[in-house]
Chains A and B, each alone.
Chain A
Amino acid sequence: MKPLSSAFSFIVGDPQADRVVPPTGFTAQLTSFSAGAMAFLACFALALSVSSGRLADRWSEELAQSLTIRISAPTEQLEAQTQAVLTVLETTPGIRTARALTADEQRALLAPWFGGSLPVEDLPIPQLVDVVEEGGGLDVEGLRLRLQAEAPGAIVDDHSRWRRPLVEAAGRLRWLSVVSLVLITGAMAAMVTLAANAALAANRSVIEVLRQVGARDAYIAQAFVRRFTLRAGMGAAVGTMAGMIAVALLPSTDAAAGFLTDLGFRGLDWLVPATIPLLAGAVAFASTRVAALRTLRTMA
């Protein structure tokens, strides 16, 4: 229990020490405001990080478990080759389902480009077969060779060609959001340091009096550290709350599909931004302590 109380006292400081520093007004307000603004931005960066991670996982999982077989053949052979492909697929281990897309389904796929009235039957459009894998036991190369022999017009597309850039894009988005978080943290540390330095300079005579009566550097620093840590923590709590509300109010995927509308937290993800005020407090604690001790070392 004692280590716990010591740690708590180390973090929150001595309320009596806090009294010796006069109200720092503007600098304290600046700290609260900047911490709040940074926490608000950090909320969005976190939402982007969580969402892009989720997206990358989803794309990887969903697309990795499916493949498409495209059959391009003269019209009179198309039906036979499709049947041959389905027969091969039925006897291939690692496949859960395999089915040829209907004309309506193929028309729906092309609709965004050619409109809904496209006469699919009259056009030399390849037949698509949708395959869903079971587990991870499908030998794609083996399947490719078998289909080459049984249905020469069949081409296996395991989606890797376009899956990889998508997953990479999501990964980069996640990386960018992490970089943003690091920059936000750094900017907040810089702002708190500037505010703390301003407060220390404004209270130089107070520090001189305290040194004269035998106050140790740690005691004097604690008075400033406590104040700026609490201010930053409270400002960040308000900023985080506002950021979480803003993220919650973003349009949902139900309203319109797309990546941006999927930006946000789900389930336990909502606990992640709750760490922002703690992080802000820790950043303020460290930056104020460093600034205070550095300033004190320049004084007698």
Chain B
Amino acid sequence: MIELDKVAYSYGGGELLSDISLTVQPGSFHFLTGPSGAGKTTFLKLIYGDLLATAGQVRLGGTDTRAMNRDQIALMRRKIGVVPQNTQFLDHLRVADNVALPLMASGRDAGDAQTNLDELLGWVGLSNHRDALPPQLSGGERQRVALARAVIMAPDVILADEPTGNVDWDMSQRILKLLIELNKMGKTVMIATHDMALIRASKAQVQARVLRIANRRLQLAGADL
């Protein structure tokens, strides 16, 4: 369970997020909306410990992220799959190696998880690209590689930051479908997006809670948008 209790985040003398409280139940599906620069990315970074709250508490499984040391944050990130807004890869490694990177970083042999890796690449529709290098991929392909990388450790939570920001409508539907599938497997999914059409498109497929960040605060925008 993810809990935010009166969380604030300040940077450079200005408060970006203020007095945010939220409980994210396991297996739930959330959209996080708001205008550009509202703080959606900051919100997600607070959840996976890339940023630490300047006030209040972000608790993951009951532990305040500010009380975690660097190793504990690293271990926690293995349970949270992140699809960042600007997908970054190790450009000298093949797609398959990039997807297997969390396994390598956790000291597991990527070779042992070969079957999972093949299935995962098939699931995101990139079986034919396993030996390609990241710079050879299109925007949609990069997003799907990032998604595969985010889920290879079988995390409990998937955080996706504008996963459809740089892709066409068909591709955004395909990515949304993958995220909904993950939710149906029991994963908690939170998608930050400013694309209201995407949220509407999900309506028939998943019961989602829609949150909106505006004026530094979090508002419940509704469950039936």
Residues of A that sit less than 8 Å from B by CB = 14, 16-17, 19-20, 22-23, 205-206, 208-219, 296-297, 300
C-beta contact mask, B84-118 vs A, less than 8 Å → 1, else 0?
Answer: 10001111110001000110111101100000000
Closest B residue to A17 by beta carbon equals B104
B19-27, B69-77, B164-172, B214-222 - the one binding chain A: B69-77
Contact partner of B107 (CB less than 8 A), chosen from A205, A206, A219, is A219
In the complex, the answer to whether B149 meets A213 with C-beta atoms within 8 Å is yes
In the complex, the answer to whether B106 meets A214 with C-beta atoms within 8 Å is yes
B112 CB, min distance to chain A CBs, angstroms: 12
Interface centre among A20, A218, A297 (most CB of B within 10 A): A20
Chain A residues whose CB sits within 8 angstroms of the CB of B101 once the complex forms:
20, 209-210, 213
Chain A residues whose CB sits within 8 angstroms of the CB of B92 once the complex forms:
22-23
Chain A residues whose CB sits within 8 angstroms of the CB of B109 once the complex forms:
16
* Docked pose: A214 CA to B155 CA in angstroms: 11
Residues of B that sit less than 8 Å from A by CB = 45, 49-51, 70-71, 74-78, 82, 84, 88-93, 97, 101-102, 104-107, 109-110, 149, 153
In the complex, the answer to whether B88 meets A214 with C-beta atoms within 8 Å is no
- Compute the total of residue contacts between A and B using a CB distance below 8 Å: 68
Chain B residues whose CB sits within 8 angstroms of the CB of A23 once the complex forms:
92
* Docked pose: A300 CA to B46 CA in angstroms: 11
A13 CB, min distance to chain B CBs, angstroms: 12
In the complex, the answer to whether A20 meets B50 with C-beta atoms within 8 Å is no
B10 CB, min distance to chain A CBs, angstroms: 16
* Docked pose: A209 CA to B105 CA in angstroms: 10
* Docked pose: A14 CA to B104 CA in angstroms: 10
Known: A20-B104, A300-B50. A217 touches B74 (CB 8 A): yes
* Docked pose: A20 CA to B103 CA in angstroms: 12
In the complex, the answer to whether A212 meets B71 with C-beta atoms within 8 Å is no
In the complex, the answer to whether B74 meets A216 with C-beta atoms within 8 Å is yes
